[in-house]
Amino acid sequence: GENVEQHPSTLSVQEGDSAVIKCTYSDSASNYFPWYKQELGKGPQLIIDIRSNVGEKKDQRIAVTLNKTAKHFSLHITETQPEDSAVYFCAAGNTGFQKLVFGTGTRLLVSP
């Protein structure tokens, strides 16, 4: 079955810096890769996703890149702000009915 590894487990940056979180997956049949942000005491919130027919997707300060050959995808946050502090999860699955497999999460801390 699918296995998703996520690095780093914690990431501390200064406000205004960029942050990059990386994930690798094992199942070449996976074609859907969402990223979730989870704030303390809340459920995960979808922030961006990418499908395997696209190499990069951007939404304001957030971007995701996908390398199907190497089976890895990354989340890039530019101009970080304190409100970006949260735990971020990557996941891999298939479009349509989704049995997502999640990474173990990255705790991002943005210091003012």
Partner 1 sequence: DAGITQSPRHKVTETGTPVTLRCHQTENHRYMYWYRQDPGHGLRLIHYSYGVKDTDKGEVSDGYSVSRSKTEDFLLTLESATSSQTSVYFCATDNGGEQYFGPGTRLTVT
Nearer of residues 81 and 95 to partner 1, judged by Cβ = 95
Per-residue contact string for residues 16-55; x = within reach of partner 1 by CB under 8 A: ------------------x-x----xxxxxx--x------
Contacts of 75-80 spanning 24+ positions with Cβ under 8 A: 75/20, 75/21, 75/23, 75/35, 75/48, 76/18, 76/19, 76/20, 77/18, 77/19, 77/20, 77/108, 78/18, 79/16, 79/18, 80/13, 80/14, 80/15, 80/16, 80/17, 80/18, 80/19, 80/108, 80/110
User: How many residues belong to the site for partner 1 (CB under 8 A)?
Assistant: 24
Instruction: List residues near partner 1 by CB under 8 A.
Output: 1, 6, 34, 36, 41-46, 49, 89, 91, 95-105
